[in-house]
Amino acid sequence: MSTTPDRTRVRLSDISSRAYEHPADRGALVALRSLRGFDEVFKRMSGLFNERALRLMFLASAVRVSERQFPDVYDYVRDAAYTLDLKQVPELYIQMNPQPNAMAIGSNKPFIVITTGLFDLLDAQEQRFVVGHEVGHILSGHAVYRTMLLALIRLATRVAWIPLGYIGLRAIVAALEEWYRKSELSCDRAGLLAAQDPDAAKRALMKMAGGSRLAEMNVDAFLEQAKEYDAAEDVRDGFLKLLITQGHTHPFAVIRLAELDRWIKEGSYQRVLNGDYPRRDTDSDTRIGDEARNAARSYKESWERTSDPLVGTLRDVAGSAASAGGKIFDTVADRWKNGSGNRRDDNGAA
């Protein structure tokens, strides 16, 4: 299948997903990827849902885009794969569903599903952004780890009658939900890199909040909403924001637009287009400790930007956590790798 784009965009050859991943998302992924055998464990867990059955279900009940069906959308996924240098163009299905949604499913052969509710809401360039967002999920390998979250959520509901077991699982689920939300911020950046149209990306995020009447909305006013939400009047609002976030796997639309706007304004987007980004052949050189420190530093910086009085009481914690957490992750990773190496030597295998 050809992956030549229909118009000139900057092709990001051999781009590593680390180029667009949010530090908290990247830290978690680097840690998981570096532990030998961990990916295989997660892939086995992904068998908790039947990937082949899901693909057959969409093959039977949705429309698979191609040169003959939704040819424009076929070009969008082809172009996104070309721009982000994804070797295999994923299948994309359009599903009849009025609820706006899009998702990347599977680990062995991931595919994309976009509902008609989202498809009909967006114009062509906005659709490119959404398709690129989902291609970013595939390039980052998010689907495998998201499967674990879904499995744990189902398990948590089954053991809810066991107080201690439920509390422990809820803590794990809450941490995974936080990672999941950061992975969405990552892939908003991937969507922008694929579409290379900042205005379209912002329009798409506004429409996900306010619907199709774009003429009635304003990006600057929407960003002001984000500032107001971030500020909070007192500590009570800070606690309320924590409560309403629980159970959500996606950040709220104002947060997504504000984060993407900040990524653009700080120059990261343009640097990637200029070719200043990590390559895939350097992925193995990344250290867990460095990424843990980067993640903690990112949280601290976001806390320093916020006017939320509750967050203001936590700012000093991240500084020490960044250093201590990095050392802990490095130690664990080294022991895991050394243990794996010893086991291979005992078995006489390379």
Span 310-341, pLDDT tens digits: 444 444 444 444 444 444 445 544 554 555 54
In Å, how far are 147, 155, 230, 254 from 151, measured between CA atoms? 6, 6, 32, 29
Span 126-180, pLDDT tens digits: 999 999 999 999 998 877 666 665 665 666 556 555 555 555 555 666 666 777 7
Lowest mean per-residue pLDDT among 125-134, 244-253, 279-288: 244-253
- pTM confidence score: 0.74
What's the pLDDT at 49? 55
Task: Give domain limits for the chain.
Answer: 17-286
Q: Which of the listed ranges 31-45, 250-264, 335-349 does the model predict with the highest average pLDDT?
A: 250-264
**Would you say residue 226 has pLDDT above 60?**
yes
Q: What is the 3-state secondary structure (H, E, C) of 9-20?
A: CCCCCCECHHHC
Question: Which residues are catalytically annotated?
Answer: 134
What's the pLDDT at 315? 45
**Would you say residue 31 has pLDDT above 60?**
no
